[in-house]
Structure formats: C-alpha cells, structure tokens
C-alpha cells in the first residue's frame, strides 16, 4: 500500500471513531515491526488535549483480526474489573479500547484493512533495552501480576490467534520434515545443529505432555513477554501496564516466563556470532524469578513454579529450532540482514540451552528460594 493510500485509509478510519473531539495532528509512533502505529492529538474542546493510539493491524500475520480483537476486548474488560476491585487505576493499568461508531472494537476500511484505537497512557514509557536491572525486575512483576489478575479467566474461551504458536512437539516434527526435504541443500553444513535438535526431543515434548496429563493448567498467556511490552511509570519507575495483547491466547504460564528469560537474561544479542559472549546470566535469572513469583502472588500451582526453569529451556530451544528450520527452508519467515543470519541466531539459542543445562541445579535452587 502506497503512502497516499495509507493516509487516505487512515483518515477514513479516524472519521469512523469518536475520540471526543477534533483530531488536530497525526504522527507515526513507536518502532514496532508488525502494525502501523500513529499518535493522534485531539482537541477535546475544554482547553485540554487528548491523545489516542491508532493502529492498522497487519492481517497478513494476524489472519483473524476480528477474533484477535474479541480476545483483546474480553481480556482488557476483565482486567479493568479486577483492577477496580484492587483499588487500582484502570485507565493506566490496562489497555482501554475505543469502539468504532458502529460499536465494534475495530473499523474495517473500504479496502479491507482493520484499524483499532487505544486510550493513550500518559507519563509512562516502554523501553527496548534494559537500562538498569530494576527494569527487568519490574517487567517480571508486571507479567506475574498479569497472570495473577487473569488466573480465574476461562482461558479455553479465547481464540488461538496464531495456531500452534508454542506447540514445540509439532514444531519438532516440522523440523524433521524440513531436514528430510532439504530443499535448499543446506543440511550438510549444519549437521551439528541438526543433531542438537534431534538429541533434545524430550525437551520438545515435556511441557505438552505435562499439560495433557493435567499437571500444567491452561492459562491466559501473553506470548511476547519482552521488556518493551511493559509501560513503566516515568516518575516511580514502576511497571504499570502490560501492552501489545495481539498474541494473548490460551497457553502455559511457564512459556511466558521462559521467553522473558530467553531474551532478557542472555548476555549476548540474539544474533551474536561470537558465542563466547553468550550465556545465561544467573543474577538476571534470579532477579526475574523473584519478580515473577512475587507478581503472581501465589496464583500459580507449585508444579508450575517448579517448572519455570524448564519453561526457560524449552522456549530457548524452540526459538533456536525455529531459526534453524527457517535457515534450512531458505530464510522465508524471519527477516535476515546478512548471510547465515538465521544460523547465527540459532547458534546463540543453542548455546543458551547448553549453558542452562550446565547450570540446571543452580536454576532450580533459585526457584526454590522464592517458593
């Protein structure tokens, strides 16, 4: 879609929401890679200026935008009620959705694109990198609190916005199929990495098996638990709100925990070619574990909490396996910026898995410390 057409459809979307006043400016906002995001300033007519976040949803990635917005509206409405019960501020501690003039939580424009709008959260910031360890801790508390607030939500009633997103067993089966097909003739050069995956079949299957056996309950999970999906108050530096709920769906709490550790407790970048710089920082692991368990306030089962290290290992393994799968298929899913980029990404994840395995008893003792 060209820039002129984007502006035209954006104006169409603005006309079909009621923001309580006249929109006086529109500018691109944030640095997200999936949706087109804009900050709107609104003249409310009483001497004050309101702000709105407007987004065009990427329905090439999220192919069921109506179901996605049903999830978002249902979860945020439930969170709002819980936050009020706790005496919190529902206008700052959860996302709040504008409904379009037709009453729907989205607007479908004349060419079939979907738009949505959120109330802007004032005096708070999301950070792309950990500027200080306390920020990582705060994100842990926030994602733990997210689990606590939604502990009684009927997770099975949510739509699965990306089918099989963390079905590690299914991804393992797909990996073996891709290796066998080897359509890009790349398998011969990565036999060591292929063998690493094949040697970790139990890692791919353990959480799914425990869920099937009833040992790990289905939860409402965020599925993208990075630091930049937390709003941190500018004054107190405390985390106040979990954002970016596009991937909220039924899942396992240990996976949400694990993805945070995979990304946030690594000492190296996700695509660091020098593996000597990559390991799992146990001090950051402990900081996040402490915050997450505190935020949950006892709403996870003992089995779930004991499996937190496994969540970290499985999510790291799964991610590495996905990078390797994509490399073998010709780099068709993850964007690459250099030759063998996905292979570098795969190797960092496998190095982290190996490091976690070497530190397994320490990780388990850290979790026990906060039980």
Predicted pLDDT of residue 1: 58
Mean pLDDT estimate for the chain: 94
Same domain for 294 and 149, yes or no, is yes
Predicted pLDDT of residue 67: 96
Predicted pLDDT of residue 21: 92
Is residue 128 in some structural domain?
no
Is residue 110 in some structural domain?
yes
Cα distances (angstroms) measured from residue 208 to each of 194, 263, 284: 22, 22, 27
Per-residue pLDDT reduced to its tens digit, 149-163: 999 999 999 999 888
Per-residue pLDDT reduced to its tens digit, 264-307: 999 999 999 999 999 999 999 999 999 999 999 999 999 999 99
Is residue 212 in some structural domain?
yes
Domain containing residue 162: CATH number: 3.90.1200.10
Is residue 127 in some structural domain?
no
> Count of domains in the chain?
2
Predicted pLDDT of residue 25: 94
Same domain for 117 and 142, yes or no, is no
Same domain for 231 and 298, yes or no, is yes
Q: Average pLDDT, stretch 322-339? A: 94
Q: Average pLDDT, stretch 68-79? A: 97
Domain containing residue 53: CATH number: 3.30.200.20
Residue 5 has pLDDT above 90, yes or no: no
Q: Average pLDDT, stretch 162-178? A: 94
Greatest mean pLDDT among 1-10, 43-52, 200-209: 200-209
Q: Which of 100, 122, 144 is the last residue of a domain?
A: 122
CA-wise closest residue to 140 among 336, 284, 273, 35: 284
Q: What's the domain range around 168?
A: 133-369
Q: Average pLDDT, stretch 327-347? A: 95
Query: 250: pLDDT confidence band, cut at 50, 70 and 90?
Result: very high
What is the C-alpha to C-alpha distance for residues 236 and 227, in angstroms, rounded to an integer? 17
Q: What's the pTM?
A: 0.93
Same domain for 295 and 254, yes or no, is yes
**Do 231 and 259 meet the contact criterion of CB atoms below 8 Å apart?**
no
Same domain for 106 and 182, yes or no, is no
Same domain for 117 and 138, yes or no, is no
Same domain for 13 and 159, yes or no, is no
Is residue 153 in some structural domain?
yes
Predicted pLDDT of residue 33: 63
Is residue 308 in some structural domain?
yes
**The dihedral of CA 187, 188, 193, 197: what is its sign?**
positive
Same domain for 239 and 362, yes or no, is yes
Mutual angle of helices 341-358 and 308-329, in 10-degree steps = 160
Same domain for 322 and 351, yes or no, is yes
- Considering the chain, what percentage of its residues have pLDDT values greater than 90? 87
């Amino acid at each position: 879609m060209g820039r002129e057409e984007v502006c035209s459809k954006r104006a169409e979307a603005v006309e079909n929401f009621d923001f309580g006043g006249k929109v006086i400016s529109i500018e691109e906002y944030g640095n997200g890679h999936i949706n087109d995001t804009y900050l709107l300033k609104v003249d409310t007519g009483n001497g004050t200026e309101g702000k709105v976040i407007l987004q065009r949803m990427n329905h090439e990635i999220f192919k069921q935008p109506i179901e996605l917005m049903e999830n978002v509206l249902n979860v945020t409405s439930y969170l709002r009620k819980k936050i009020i019960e706790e005496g919190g501020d529902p206008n700052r501690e959860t996302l709040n959705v504008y409904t379009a003039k037709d009453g729907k939580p989205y607007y479908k424009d004349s060419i079939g694109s979907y738009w949505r709008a959120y109330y802007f959260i004032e005096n708070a910031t999301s950070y792309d990198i950990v500027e200080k360890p306390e920020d990582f801790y705060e994100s842990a508390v926030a994602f733990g609190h997210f689990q606590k607030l939604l502990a009684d939500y009927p997770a099975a009633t949510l739509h699965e916005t990306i089918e099989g997103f963390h079905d590690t067993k299914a991804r393992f089966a797909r990996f073996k199929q891709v290796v066998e097909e080897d359509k890009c003739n790349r398998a011969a050069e990565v036999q060591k990495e292929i063998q690493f995956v094949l040697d970790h079949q139990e890692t791919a299957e353990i959480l799914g098996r425990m869920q099937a056996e009833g040992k790990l309950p289905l939860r409402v999970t965020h599925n993208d638990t990075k630091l930049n999906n937390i709003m941190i108050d500018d004054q107190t530096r405390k985390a106040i709100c979990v954002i970016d709920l596009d991937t909220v769906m039924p899942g396992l709490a240990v996976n949400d925990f694990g993805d945070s550790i995979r990304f946030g407790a690594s000492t190296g970048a996700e695509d660091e070619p020098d593996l000597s710089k990559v390991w799992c920082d146990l001090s950051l692991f402990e900081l996040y574990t402490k915050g997450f368990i505190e935020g949950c306030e006892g709403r996870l089962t003992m089995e779930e909490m004991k499996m937190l290290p496994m969540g970290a290992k499985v999510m790291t393994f799964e991610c590495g396996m996905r990078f390797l799968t994509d490399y073998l298929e010709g780099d068709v899913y993850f964007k690459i910026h250099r030759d063998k980029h996905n292979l570098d990404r795969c190797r960092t994840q496998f190095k982290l898995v190996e490091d976690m395995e070497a530190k397994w008893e320490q990780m388990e003792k850290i979790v026990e410390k906060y039980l």
